[in-house]
């Protein structure tokens, strides 16, 4: 993380939490249990106390299994959801409390690419309309010619022929649509892009294409990425740093190379050992027992204790803190802290 020290932080998440209420309204909170009427308010704790710093020019990947809160993090950062607790700072300014027009300058600097290219483009708008709309909205002073030029420029930069602009999204393939969705995000010249599993809905043969396009855009435009994925080989190819999420908490945060060479958290190890390999004739997977626990009733102590081979009494009572290791990675695990692993 040497070069990161000199780079300024672009985005800071400070003890960010998000929970979704399951029982909305007074009537739903009244339950009948064991012969007694009680009041109970349940909520899903999707993201718990996450602190992260993203520096300019990096590509921070967030990985984890389904339901661990990856997408919620992306939606919190992009402002689609409001955090329950904590704060989001963009370039030193707190943005999670801003509303409407006050947020507009940050919308221009921060864009999002979505998972499903079949749903993320409005089916009733031609590509031209879809790409022109954000340019016009964020640059009211642009002339028609300037808007057209901008649209042509972005379309070329994502490798979509500008002469196709009068077509509708359904006339394109998934990969083309995702490139158009990327073009749409790029029309406002953002510096920070949140990508929520942008390639997981695509054909494997197209995934590399889109990924390389995103890397190219990173080089050419100096973009910073927050990249949500569950595909570890993508992380290795794309990310500069990785945050491993489990049940809404970060268990390990490290440089990509460090994480792949020397994973420390037991969950990270299990995750990495599950990556299929070509030379894998004698698989030596770490098999996790059981399922990811429900995020409604979070376990006390370490969120991973129920499936961890190293869990002891302390893990059941005390939540592990994120502690920086000698190689720069940050790990939240009692076993690592006490040196019980390796």
Partner 1 sequence: MSMMADHQGNSLFARIMNSNMAYSFKRNPVAIVSMAIFLIITLAAVFAPLIAPTDPYDPSLYDILDSELPPAWTNQGDPKFLFGTDDQGRDLWSAILYGTRTSLIIGICAVFVQAFLGISIGLISGYVGGRIDNILMRFADIQLSFSTLMVAIIFLAVSQALFGSETFNKYALFMLVGVIGIAEWPQYARTVRATVLAEKKKEYVDSARVLGFSSIRIMVRHILPNSLSPIFVISTVQVANAIISEASLSFLGLGMPVSQPSLGSLISSGFDYIFSGSWWITTIPGVVLVVLVLVINLLGDWMRDVLNPKLYKG
Residues of this chain that interact with partner 1 (CB under 8 A) are 75, 78-80, 100, 103-104, 107-108, 110-112, 114-116, 119-125, 133-134, 137-138, 163-164, 166-167, 181, 184, 188
Quote the tokens at residue 300: 């006390």
| Distance in angstroms (rounded) separating the CA atoms of residues 114 and 197 | 7
Question: Least distance (Å) from partner 1 to the CB of residue 319?
Answer: 32
Nearer to partner 1, 80 or 208 (CB): 80
Q: Closest separation between CB of residue 62 and partner 1, Å?
A: 17
In the complex, least distance from residue 112 CB atom to partner 1, rounded to whole angstroms: 4
Classify 328 as helix, strand or coil: coil
* Least Å from the CB of residue 336 to partner 1: 37
Distance CA 183, CA 167 (A): 15
Q: What is the closest distance, in whole angstroms, from the C-beta atom of residue 124 to partner 1 in the complex?
A: 4
- As a whole number of angstroms, the distance between CA 98 and CA 234 comes to 34
Joined tokens for residue 18: 């998000």
Nearer to partner 1 (CB atom), residue 133 or residue 231: 133
Structural contact between residues 174 and 201, judged by C-beta atoms closer than 8 angstroms: yes
- What span, in angstroms and rounded, lies between the C-alpha atoms of 19 and 26? 18
Cα pseudo-dihedral 244, 51, 330, 305, rounded to 10: -60
Q: For residue 236, how far is the Cα from the chain centroid? A: 15
* Nearer residue to partner 1 within complex by CB, 48 or 111: 111
Distance CA 240, CA 233 (A): 13
Q: How far is the CB of 171 from partner 1 (least distance, A)?
A: 8
- Tell me whether residue 189 or residue 327 sits nearer to partner 1 (CB atom): 189
Q: Are 248 and 239 in contact (CB under 8 A)?
A: no
CB of 149 to partner 1, least distance (A): 19
Minimum distance from CB of 114 to partner 1 (Å)? 4
Q: How far is CA 78 from CA 8, 55, 106, 111, 305, in A?
A: 20, 17, 10, 7, 31
Which CB, 195 or 243, lies closer to partner 1? 195
- Give 71 or 240: the residue with its C-beta nearer to partner 1: 71
Strands 9-21 and 85-90: antiparallel
Report, in Å, the least distance between residue 98 CB and partner 1.
11
By beta-carbon proximity to partner 1, the closer residue of 104 and 296 is 104
Does residue 167 contact residue 121 with C-beta atoms inside 8 Å? no
Q: What is the CA radius of gyration of the chain?
A: 22
Nearer to partner 1, 1 or 103 (CB): 103
Block residue for tokens 């809905």:
201
Q: Whose Cβ is closer to partner 1: residue 131's or residue 288's?
A: 131
């Amino acid at each position: 993380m040497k070069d990161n020290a000199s780079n300024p932080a672009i985005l800071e998440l400070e003890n960010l939490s998000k929970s979704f209420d399951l029982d909305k309204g007074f009537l739903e909170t009244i339950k009948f249990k064991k012969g007694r009427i009680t009041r109970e308010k349940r909520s899903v704790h999707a993201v718990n106390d996450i602190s992260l710093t993203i520096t300019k020019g990096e590509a921070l990947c967030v990985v984890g299994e389904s339901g661990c809160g990856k997408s919620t993090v992306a939606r919190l950062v992009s402002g689609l959801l409001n955090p329950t607790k904590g704060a989001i700072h963009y370039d030193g300014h707190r943005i999670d409390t801003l509303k409407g027009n006050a947020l507009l300058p940050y919308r221009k600097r921060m864009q999002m690419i979505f998972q499903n290219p079949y749903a993320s483009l409005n089916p009733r708008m031609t590509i031209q309309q879809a790409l022109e709309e954000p340019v016009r909205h964020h640059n009211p002073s642009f002339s028609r010619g300037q808007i057209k030029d901008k649209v042509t420029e972005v379309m070329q930069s994502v490798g979509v022929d500008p002469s196709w602009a009068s077509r509708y999204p359904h006339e394109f393939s998934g990969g083309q649509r995702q490139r158009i969705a990327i073009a749409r995000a790029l029309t406002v010249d953002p510096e920070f892009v949140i990508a929520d599993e942008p390639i997981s809905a695509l054909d494997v043969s197209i995934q590399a294409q889109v990924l390389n396009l995103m890397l190219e855009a990173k080089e050419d435009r100096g973009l910073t990425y927050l990249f949500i994925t569950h595909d570890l080989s993508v992380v290795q190819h794309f990310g500069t740093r990785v945050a491993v999420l489990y049940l809404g908490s970060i268990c390990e945060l490290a440089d990509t190379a460090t994480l792949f060479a020397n994973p420390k958290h037991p969950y990270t190890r299990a995750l990495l050992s599950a990556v299929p390999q070509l030379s894998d004739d004698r698989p030596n997977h770490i098999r996790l027992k059981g399922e990811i626990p429900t995020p409604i009733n979070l376990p006390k102590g370490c969120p991973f204790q129920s499936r961890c081979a190293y869990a002891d009494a302390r893990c059941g009572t005390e939540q592990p803190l994120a502690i920086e290791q000698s190689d720069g990675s940050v790990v939240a695990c009692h076993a690592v802290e006490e040196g019980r692993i390796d």
